[in-house]
Amino acid sequence: MLEIESQADIGYQDELWIGPFGDGQTPTAWTQILGVEELGMPEKTPEDVDVTHMQSPGRSRETRPGLMAVADFSQDIQFWPEHPSQVLLDDLAELTEAGEPAYVLIEMNVGGMRRTYRGYVNSFTPSGSVGDKRMASLAMKVFDRVANSRVPA
């Protein structure tokens, strides 16, 4: 019997991890966010900033490239109210609503490309069901890309 390995990539390798940190650099623990569907990296295109200064040649406007924007990152996930990853997201969203967001490292592995960002959970909102699944909307603010990442198990 001839066996053929499939080369199909249906996205099961994509992962989203959240690591709250206490000292500003190292997460206290990493939690995999389960139920992620169609994960994509946040858009982090550097912005050009127009600046004017009296000492610019001819007092003209100058452009300073490379200011990194804060990205809005949204992700739909399956909703399991009592799952530890969902409880963590709900707790982090409540801190943001109270005006004290907890900064986290956000690691994404999309199609084998791993990137880690610093940011916070902006909101976590359960929504209606899609077919036989309950869904939730996760919104985060993403700042800069960082070198630290979760050490694979």
Kindly report, residue by residue over 16-45, the tens digit of the pLDDT. 999 887 665 677 788 888 888 788 888 766
CB-CB contact of 73 with 139 (8 Å): yes
Q: What integer pLDDT is reported at residue 5 of this predicted model?
A: 47
- What span, in angstroms and rounded, lies between the C-alpha atoms of 150 and 39? 18
- Compute the distance between CA of residue 25 and CA of residue 78 in angstroms, rounded to an integer: 29
Res 49 pLDDT > 60: yes
The pLDDT of residue 22 is: 66
Using DSSP's 3-state secondary structure scheme, residue 111 falls into: coil
Q: Per-residue pLDDT for 50 more than 80?
A: no
Q: Examine the pLDDT at 6 and tell me if it is beyond 50.
A: no
Q: Which residues pair with 141 in a beta bridge?
A: 72, 120
Is the pLDDT assigned to residue 59 strictly greater than 90? no
Give, in order, the Cα–Cα distances in Å from 14 to each of 53, 58, 111, 124.
Answer: 46, 52, 6, 20
Please give the pLDDT value at position 3.
47
pLDDT at 28: 76
pLDDT tens profile 75-124: 888 888 888 888 999 999 999 999 998 889 999 888 888 888 889 999 99
